[in-house]
Amino acid sequence: MIKVLIVEDNALIAKRYGMILSKEKGMQCVGSAATGYEATLLAALAKPDVILMDIELEDKQAGLRATSEILAYMPDIRIVMLTVCETDETVYQAFDIGATNYLLKNMPASDIVAAIRDAYEGTPSLHANIAGKITKEFKRIRTMENSLLHTFHMLTQLTPTELEVLKMLLTGATRQQICEARHVEPSTLKSQINSILRKFDLSNTQEVIAMLQELRIPDILDRLPKEPEQ
């Protein structure tokens, strides 16, 4: 018998899930909660195998917080997230905190039952729309990882002086301001910037800055010690 806890603040939808479970052999509804707090409490008391968890309860993140709390203490529980919309951010958040599946509330009863069984048996099963989003995110992460490694390699080719110049460019300093701060001639700074551009294989500093900002490199460079005064 698969024990299922329903967490849904809409009484009509919660009733629908209860009716679906009551008609399904081998499944039992062990409780119904309408808030994240109730969900956490009932999960501890009823010890369900699977939880149908609405994301938006008392607030838009309540279901996600409850999921995180429940899995922190009861990691064997399988949680299927339910929502009315499948925004990319909530999909990624749900899986990041350990949700087993993610379904739209208006899906047919057969899909909900199948999701519960798959979750209970530990069988991966994602709706085509969700699977597409996850695949897209993995590709984005892989592309960013490759870009990050390539950028780190290029940063290692910079001299301490070039790195300091780059850090100042990232703060929005003008060439004149950099010359004054570093006590160098404009021709010297021009040579240093040209060297930076050659190493990054880019044509202007705006392209370098845009690439580094996209990868959040400035945050890392800020933690580096400044070049000692000559």
Q: Give the pLDDT confidence score for residue 144 in this predicted structure.
A: 58
Q: What is the pLDDT of residues 23-48, one digit of tens each?
A: 998 999 999 999 999 999 999 999 99
| CATH architecture designation of domain 2-125 | 3-Layer(aba) Sandwich (3.40)
Q: Does residue 213 surpass a pLDDT of 90? A: no
- Between CA 117 and CA 150 the distance in angstroms is 44
Give the phi and the psi of residue 60 in degrees, each rounded to 5.
-70, -20
Could you state, in order of their start, the residue ranges of all structural domains in the chain? Answer: 2-125, 141-221
Secondary structure of the chain as H, E, C letters: CEEEEEECCCHHHHHHHHHHHHCCCCEEEEEEECCHHHHHHHHHHHCCCEEEEECCCCCCCHHHHHHHHHHHHCCCCEEEEEECCCCHHHHHHHHHCCCCEEEECCCCHHHHHHHHHHHHHCCCCCCHHHHHHHHHHHHHHHHHHHHHHHHHHHHHCCCHHHHHHHHHHHCCCCHHHHHHHHCCCHHHHHHHHHHHHHHHCCCCHHHHHHHHHHCCHHHHHCCCCCCCCC
Q: Give the pLDDT confidence score for residue 230 in this predicted structure.
A: 47
Label residue 169 left, alpha or beta by phi (over 0 means left) and psi (-120 to 50 means alpha).
alpha
Q: Does residue 149 surpass a pLDDT of 90? A: no
CATH number belonging to the domain at 141-221, selected among 1.10.10.10, 3.40.50.970, 1.10.1040.10, 1.10.540.10: 1.10.10.10
Q: What is the pLDDT of residues 83-131, one digit of tens each?
A: 776 565 666 677 778 787 778 888 889 989 988 998 898 875 555 555 4
